[in-house]
Amino acid sequence: MEVLLARTGGDGGGSLTGVVAVLDTHPADGLPWIGLLLVDARRRGRGLGRAVAEEVHDRLRERGRPAVRLAVLENNAAALAFWGALGYAEIDRRPDRQAGRDCVVMHRPL
């Protein structure tokens, strides 16, 4: 699991504004999965989430990874719209492994 921190300012020393966790290889399908992407609520709507996601895409592409996946809670319309706008498409619906909540599995070619 790789965790990346997004900070304000170009030198990496600014305040924490976001975090993303990426599993490099999911045991079920061999693809990388984004497990979590959080942005400081005070900074939402400024393109930070998109920038963080694109950084993850770039890093995975540089490693030769063909695609990336993630799961979103089925009732999280904002997250589904966010990931859909970034080119992710629904490929499955299933309960999550920990709590059995209904999730939408999304896939994006890189």
Q: What pLDDT does residue 16 have?
A: 84
- Please give the chain's pLDDT, 110 residues, in tens: 999 888 876 665 678 889 999 999 999 999 999 999 999 888 778 888 999 999 999 999 999 999 999 999 999 999 999 999 999 999 999 998 889 999 999 999 99
Task: Encode the chain in three state secondary structure.
Answer: CEEEEEECCCCCCCCEEEEEEEECCCCCCCCCEEEEEEECHHHCCCCHHHHHHHHHHHHHHHCCCCEEEEEEECCCHHHHHHHHHCCCEEEEEEECCCCCCEEEEEEEEC
pTM of the model: 0.88
